[in-house]
Each structure stands twice: as C-alpha cells, then as structure tokens.
C-alpha cells in the first residue's frame, strides 16, 4: 500500500492567494483527519470526516479555511485568502473505523506551507 | 473531557541507557492509548497501542509501554536507547464512547547522546 498521499509536499505562496492542499487516504479507510503542526502550537486537529461526512470542524481556525471530501479517496483543505500566520506543516491522516474502533491513524508526509 | 499530557518537553538520555517518555491521560471511560514517533521532516509514525488485555504493550523498534490504570499513565519505554531513537514522540488517547477523534499530547523531544 502506498500509504497516505499528500500533495504538494511544499507550497510557497504570497499573502492573499488561494491555497489548496490535497490528500488521498489509504484505500479502505473510512476516517480522514486534517492536522496542522507549528512550533508554537504543536499538533492541532482541524477537521475530521467519517465516511466522507465532516464530523467535527471545531478546530478550523477561521472561515478562510474549508475542507471537503467528495469521495472516499480524496480530500482537500483550502485556505482563501492565505495569510503569513497560516505557515505550517499540514498533515492528513486516515484510519479505519472497526467494530472495536481501535484502529490507529496513518499519517501522510505532510505539506509544508509558507505564506510570504 | 478527554485529554492527554506529556509533562516533559525534552528528554535527554545517554546511548545504551534505558529511556522513559511519560504520558498521562484523562478520559471518562476505558481509553485506547497510542504512541507515535515523528522524525525530522516526516509525518507521525505509529509505534504501539493499548486497547485491552496485558498492561505491557510491545511495539516497533524495541519500544514498549505500560498501561497503569490507577495512575492513568501510559509511559513509553525502551531498555537500551539508540542515537537513532532521537525524535519527537507523541502520546494520543481515544475515548471509544465519544467518537473517532484522537487527542494528541504536545510531544516530547527525545535526544539520545552518543
């Protein structure tokens, strides 16, 4: 299995531009999570989906952030307009909700976003 | 509320010595507990988990963790540290009664000194 795939791996953009991060979860997984990691705030959960449905988006910092999961094999996280304080590493993770619900999350390699 | 605490931001240990990275949790029910490791410029990698059963759980790369219900702890241990173990370690908890969300600790940076 290829694992969780994220693209792009690096993104440098200017303030005010739209940024779209992409994630392909592991095949067969039905939960998907978006995290943000910074030195100051550590690892933060932004939003997660179960069976393509957003369950908890309370971690999304502002209306500038939005996430979609149109099907089981693809998700996007969009920032519009981007600001310098959005600079961070964004991780996508997926897991499978089992009957016992004990399945671990598998993380992608992350997208390092720099907003100038 | 569910939460997990890693009381040490930084742990230093000499190569060959035993290491411990501490984690305590707070959940309303019986917790599912996990340890992850993050190497520089990489995503988090799963190390081990406790769901039920034996309190001592063995995982990848020679790591193990002990679940202690009375102390609500799940400390990560390794008998003999390697320089290559130097990384950022995250403890996570999931309360099976409240959905599929994981709660991660703030991370502990482990440095193994040659």
Interface of A with B (CB under 8 A): 4, 31, 33, 42-43, 45, 48, 50, 55-56, 91, 93, 95, 97, 100-102, 104-110
Q: Is the peptide bond before A57 cis (omega within 30 degrees of 0)?
A: no
- Chain B residues with CB under 8 Å of A91 CB are 43-44
Query: For residue B34, which of B111, B114, B93, B75 has the smallest C-alpha distance?
Result: B93
Q: Is 80 exceeded by the pLDDT of residue B95?
A: no
pLDDT of residue B3: 87
The average confidence (pLDDT) of chain A is: 92
pLDDT of residue A61: 87
Question: In this predicted model, what pLDDT tens digit does every residue of B20-38 receive, in sequence order?
Answer: 999 999 887 788 899 999 9
pLDDT of residue A98: 66
DSSP B30: P
Question: In this predicted model, what pLDDT tens digit does every residue of A31-75 receive, in sequence order?
Answer: 999 999 998 888 999 999 999 999 989 899 889 999 999 999 999
Angle value at C-alpha A94, between A6 and B62, nearest 5 degrees: 100
Question: In this predicted model, what pLDDT tens digit does every residue of A74-110 receive, in sequence order?
Answer: 999 999 999 999 999 999 999 987 656 568 899 999 9
B42 touches B51 (CB < 8 A): no
B82 pLDDT tier (thresholds 50, 70, 90): very high
A12-44 b/e with 16+ CB inside 10 Å = b?
ebeeeeebebbbbbbeebbbbbbbbbeeeebbe
* Least CB–CB distance from B43: residue in A50, A102, A109: A109
pLDDT of residue B94: 84
- Chain A residues with CB under 8 Å of B102 CB are 33, 45, 105
C-alpha distance from residue B91 to each of A11, A89, B76, B114 (Å): 29, 19, 9, 25
Question: In this predicted model, what pLDDT tens digit does every residue of A8-41 receive, in sequence order?
Answer: 999 999 999 999 999 999 999 999 999 999 988 8
* Least CB–CB distance from A104: residue in B34, B104, B107: B34
3-state secondary structure chain A: CCCCEEECCEEEECCCCCEEEEEECCCCCCEEEEEEEECCCEEEEEEEEECCEEEECCCCCCCCEEEEEEECCEEEEEECCCCHHHCEEEEEEEECCCCCCCCCCEECCCEEEEEC
Angle value at C-alpha A24, between A18 and A28, nearest 5 degrees: 150
pLDDT of residue A1: 65
B33 touches B74 (CB < 8 A): yes
Distance from CA of B20 to the nearest CA of A (A): 21
Round to whole Å and give the CA distance between B15 and B81.
Answer: 5
């Amino acid at each position: 299995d290829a694992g969780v795939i994220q693209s792009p791996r690096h993104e440098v953009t200017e303030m005010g531009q739209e940024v779209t991060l992409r994630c392909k979860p592991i095949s067969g997984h039905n939960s998907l999570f978006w995290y943000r990691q910074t030195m100051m705030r550590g690892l933060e959960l932004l939003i997660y989906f179960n069976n393509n449905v957003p369950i908890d988006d309370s971690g999304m910092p502002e209306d500038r952030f939005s996430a979609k999961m149109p099907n089981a094999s693809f998700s996007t996280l969009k920032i519009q307009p981007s600001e310098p304080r959005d600079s961070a590493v964004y991780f996508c993770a997926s897991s499978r909700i089992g009957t016992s619900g004990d399945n671990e999350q598998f993380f992608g390699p992350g997208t390092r976003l720099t907003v100038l | 509320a569910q939460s997990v605490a890693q009381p040490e931001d930084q742990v230093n240990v000499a190569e060959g010595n035993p290491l411990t990275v501490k984690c305590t949790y707070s959940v309303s029910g019986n917790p599912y507990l996990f340890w992850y490791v993050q190497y520089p410029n990489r995503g988090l990698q799963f190390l081990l988990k406790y769901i039920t059963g034996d309190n001592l759980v063995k995982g990848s790369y020679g790591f193990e963790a002990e679940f202690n219900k009375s102390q609500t702890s799940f400390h990560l241990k390794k008998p003999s540290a390697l320089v290559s173990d130097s990384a950022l370690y995250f403890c996570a908890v999931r309360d099976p009664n409240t959905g599929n969300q994981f709660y991660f600790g703030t991370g502990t940076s482990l440095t193994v000194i040659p």
